[in-house]
């Protein structure tokens, strides 16, 4: 153990004793019930089993590794150690508080959820789930708690207690107190009849406003990078996005939501009833809107998604996966009888990707499905696949774009299909309103009917679009705006596994760069970096971890632009409203 860890662990021991005493004083537990822990790097300091909190001393606190191995345990570590470790593995938690507090236990006996009775529930990530009853100390309870905590900082364990986490012990404990208070308010509200609760959008609005105001961060430390919490591998992969660290603000995507099922490597489809053994099969969230939504969420945007999906298992999978990334999916409309848009992709050994596609529900999105009020306050709107949106391409889409523009949003358009001049005629009014159009080169040529990219770019710009980014696969991208020559941004060479979703990665990076205030070319460089990262793994959601990671990757080949972008982004995201 390093000396720094030892010093941190000593502080954690003292704090655990202090907060244990408060647990009893605040009525969150009696005797030795409940338990608390704090993570210091690869170690977890945790209260021991069966010692009354009144008698607890710092020396009694146990230290275990992240795998549960005892490192220093004068007393038996808490029986709930597996649950604490499972939560550290699945979230960005730096401290965990488990209570046996009466209001939540009473609620858990008859309800499946603590609804949004008060806006402060935004600090916990939204309505708090009640996990099914499983015996204390079991792996099953650890699992149940982990599931219930998905995108939340608190959960209720049926007939047992509460489990909360935070970026430090103070925050975790504050969440436990808040949860108990909310449960009490809910019980009182029930005595008047069926209470009115807040919608998901209202809670999301509170989170966004709290982030904008920097709640939970003291003035003196708002820009102090050194105070930023340690990122765990899972945090970096985009989980636990419930409100914290969203420097790009609110962004909306509208359009194609597709489930991709990919397998690799596929040399050829076996004849007859033959079979072939693959090394990997994945199902991912994809499509010009949904794929970009996931990448944007990873890069630090609070994303709201609009689109049509089926009422099938693919839709459940898509929604569940998007929610895991903290995306607001209330704008996704299920169309009875339709299947969710889906693609099967047998990926060749060289990364090429023939596609077998069912267009499905995407085209069924109606004007009435769009809650335009949800677009107020967005900083960017990506219209992903207007060429696949059926009737909406007329007035409905124009209304959505107008609503976003009224809020001052950046409007970016990308297409899904190979393109034709007829399709171009249909989307031309939309492009005239757009700030950016970002098709790939083949699509742009097919849409405009031109033979040269320069002429095709001119056609788009002269129709009113603010700027064009044309992606060129392994050759990078061209960036052009009215009155200036197109500029080439080279690709970043990577070992390609699968290029599915590179365009979505590019769009997400471009939008992130523009929202940070970068120049168009620097924003496109971030786009190219994100596109290359997506190519390094199987599926649209591969490669990108977070903005910090994408900038470090870009810095390997373009240190100057990466430094400029980093200066705009500020230090890696500090915690949000986790107070
Ligand atoms: N083989 C590759 N190597 C490195 N970077 C790549 C590669 N393929 C794509 N990229 C990056 O990703 C960006 C977008 O890729 P591409 O041009 O293939 O988009 P697309 O055809 O629109 O893809 P999608 O089907 O996801 O919409 C490119 O501009 C490039 O920067
Ligand atoms: Mg594309």
What is the C-alpha to C-alpha distance for residues 227 and 245, in angstroms, rounded to an integer?
A: 13
Tell me which residue has tokens 């471009």.
510
CA distances from 179 to 18, 80, 207 (A): 20, 20, 16
Closest CA to ligand 1's atom 2: 474
The alpha carbon of 503 and the centre of ligand 2 are apart by a number of angstroms equal to 4
pLDDT at 5: 65
Q: Which has the closest alpha carbon to 551: 317, 333, 247, 291?
A: 247
- Residue 288 CA to chain centroid, in angstroms? 16
CA distances from 335 to 315, 341, 396 (A): 10, 11, 18
- Atom index in ligand 1 nearest the CA of residue 472 equals 17
Mutational pocket test of ligand 1: of 350, 439, 446, 471, the residue with most ligand atoms within 8 Å of the beta carbon:
471
Closest CA to ligand 1's atom 7: 474
Closest CA to ligand 1's atom 13: 531
Residues with catalytic function: 80
Quote the pTM value.
0.62
What is the C-alpha to C-alpha distance for residues 78 and 52, in angstroms, rounded to an integer?
A: 12
Closest CA to ligand 1's atom 24: 503
Q: Residue 564: which H helix or E strand, with range? A: helix 559-569
- Separation of first and last alpha carbons in the chain: 31
What is the C-alpha to C-alpha distance for residues 129 and 571, in angstroms, rounded to an integer?
A: 33
Pocket of ligand 1 (CB under 6 A): 440, 471-474, 476-477, 491-492, 494, 496, 499, 501-504, 506, 528, 531-532, 535
Closest CA to ligand 1's atom 5: 532
Residue 303 has φ and ψ, to the nearest 5°, of -100, 135
Q: Given strand 62-65, what is the order of strands in its sheet?
A: 70-72, 62-65, 43-46, 35-40, 95-99, 161-166, 154-157, 128-131, 113-114
Q: Which has the closest alpha carbon to 288: 359, 366, 382, 364?
A: 382
- Atom index in ligand 1 nearest the CA of residue 493 equals 4
Please check whether residue 204 is in contact with residue 302, taking contact to mean a CB–CB distance below 8 angstroms.
yes
Closest CA to ligand 1's atom 27: 503
What's the token pair of residue 31? 């005797």
What is the C-alpha to C-alpha distance for residues 310 and 338, in angstroms, rounded to an integer?
A: 5
- Atom index in ligand 1 nearest the CA of residue 540 equals 26
| Cis amide leading into 192 (omega within 30) | no
The alpha carbon of 414 and the centre of ligand 2 are apart by a number of angstroms equal to 7
Question: Which residues fall within 8 angstroms of residue 373, CB to CB, at 6 or more apart?
Answer: none
As a dihedral over the C-alpha atoms of residue 342, residue 347, residue 352, residue 357, rounded to 10 degrees, the angle is -20
DSSP state of 394: T
Mutational pocket test of ligand 1: of 382, 506, 533, the residue with most ligand atoms within 8 Å of the beta carbon:
506
Q: Regarding beta strands 410-414 and 380-384, do their DSSP bridges make them parallel or antiparallel, or are they unpaired?
A: parallel
What's the token pair of residue 128? 């708090």
What is the C-alpha to C-alpha distance for residues 59 and 20, in angstroms, rounded to an integer?
A: 14
pLDDT at 407: 76
Q: Which has the closest alpha carbon to 533: 523, 546, 521?
A: 546
CA distances from 491 to 230, 472, 522 (A): 31, 8, 13
Residue-by-residue DSSP string for 273-287 = T-----SEEEEEEES
Q: Which ligand sits nearest to residue 477's alpha carbon?
A: 1
Q: Which ligand sits nearest to residue 557's alpha carbon?
A: 1
What is the C-alpha to C-alpha distance for residues 431 and 462, in angstroms, rounded to an integer?
A: 10
Domains defined for the chain, CATH in brackets: 3-198 (3.40.225.10), 233-569 (3.40.1190.20)
- Atom index in ligand 1 nearest the CA of residue 528 equals 31
What is the C-alpha to C-alpha distance for residues 384 and 91, in angstroms, rounded to an integer?
A: 30
DSSP state of 51: -
Mutational pocket test of ligand 1: of 502, 505, 529, 542, the residue with most ligand atoms within 8 Å of the beta carbon:
502
What's the token pair of residue 36? 């608390």
**Rg over CA atoms, the chain:** 25
Q: Which has the closest alpha carbon to 474: 486, 488, 487, 490?
A: 490
- Residue 267 CA to chain centroid, in angstroms? 34
Run means of pLDDT, 10 residues per run, the chain, 579 residues: 66 87 86 90 92 87 94 92 95 93 96 96 95 95 95 96 93 94 96 93 85 59 34 31 62 97 93 93 96 96 95 95 91 95 94 92 92 87 93 82 88 95 93 96 97 95 95 97 90 92 97 94 97 92 89 92 87 40
Q: Which ligand sits nearest to residue 504's alpha carbon?
A: 1
What's the token pair of residue 30? 């009696």
Longest distance between any two alpha carbons in the chain, whole Å: 81
């Amino acid at each position: 153990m390093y000396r720094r860890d030892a010093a941190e662990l000593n502080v954690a021991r003292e704090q655990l004793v202090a907060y244990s005493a408060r647990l009893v004083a605040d009525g969150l537990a009696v005797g030795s019930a409940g338990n608390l822990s704090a993570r210091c790097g690869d170690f977890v300091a945790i209260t021991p089993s069966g010692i009354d909190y009144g008698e607890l001393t710092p020396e009694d606190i146990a230290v275990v590794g992240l795998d549960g191995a005892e490192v220093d345990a004068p007393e038996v570590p808490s029986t709930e150690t597996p649950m604490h470790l499972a939560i550290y593995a699945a979230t960005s938690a730096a401290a965990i508080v488990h209570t046996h507090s009466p209001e939540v236990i009473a609620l858990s006996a008859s309800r499946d959820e603590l609804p949004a009775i008060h806006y402060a529930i935004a600090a916990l990530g939204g309505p708090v789930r009640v996990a099914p009853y499983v015996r204390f100390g079991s792996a099953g309870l650890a699992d149940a708690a982990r599931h219930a905590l998905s995108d939340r900082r608190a959960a209720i364990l049926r007939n047992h207690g509460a489990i909360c986490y935070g970026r430090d012990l103070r925050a975790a404990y504050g969440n436990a107190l808040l949860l108990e208070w909310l449960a009490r308010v809910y019980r009182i509200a029930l005595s008047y009849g069926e209470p009115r609760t807040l919608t998901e959008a209202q809670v999301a609005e509170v989170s966004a406003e709290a982030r904008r105001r920097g709640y939970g961060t003291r003035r003196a430390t708002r820009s102090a990078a050194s105070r930023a919490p340690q990122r765990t591998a899972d945090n970096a992969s985009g989980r636990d996005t419930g409100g914290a660290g969203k420097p790009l603000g609110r962004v909306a995507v509208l359009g194609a939501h597709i489930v991709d099922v990919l397998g690799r490597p596929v040399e050829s489809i076996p004849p007859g009833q033959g079979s072939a053994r693959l090394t990997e099969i994945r199902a991912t969230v994809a499509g010009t809107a949904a794929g970009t939504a996931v990448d944007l969420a990873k890069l630090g945007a609070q994303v709201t998604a609009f689109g049509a999906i089926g009422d099938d298992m693919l839709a459940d999978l898509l929604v569940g996966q998007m929610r895991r990334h903290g995306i607001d999916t209330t704008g996704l409309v299920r169309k009875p009888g339709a299947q969710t848009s889906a693609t099967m992709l047998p990926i060749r050994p060289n990364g090429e990707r023939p596609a077998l596609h069912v267009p499905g529900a995407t085209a069924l999105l109606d004007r009435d499905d769009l809650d335009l009020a949800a677009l107020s306050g967005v900083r960017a709107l990506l219209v992903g696949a207007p060429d696949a949106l059926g009737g909406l391409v007329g007035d409905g889409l124009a209304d959505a774009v107008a609503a976003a523009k009224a809020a001052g949003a950046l409007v970016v358009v990308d297409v899904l299909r190979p393109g034709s001049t007829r399709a171009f005629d249909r989307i031309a009014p939309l492009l005239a309103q757009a700030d950016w159009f970002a098709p790939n080169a083949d699509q742009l040529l097919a849409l405009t009917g031109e033979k040269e990219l320069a002429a095709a770019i001119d056609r788009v710009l002269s129709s009113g679009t603010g700027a064009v980014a044309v992606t060129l696969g392994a050759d990078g991208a061209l960036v052009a705006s009215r009155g200036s020559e197109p500029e080439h941004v080279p690709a970043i060479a990577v070992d390609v596994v699968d290029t599915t979703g590179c365009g979505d990665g590019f769009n997400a990076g471009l939008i992130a760069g523009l929202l940070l205030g970068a120049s168009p070319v620097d924003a496109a460089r971030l786009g190219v970096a994100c596109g290359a990262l997506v190519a390094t793994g199987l599926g649209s959601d591969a490669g990108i971890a977070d903005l910090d990671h994408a900038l470090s990757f870009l810095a390997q080949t373009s240190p100057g632009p990466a430094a400029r972008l980093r200066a705009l982004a500020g230090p890696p995201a500090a915690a949000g409203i986790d107070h």
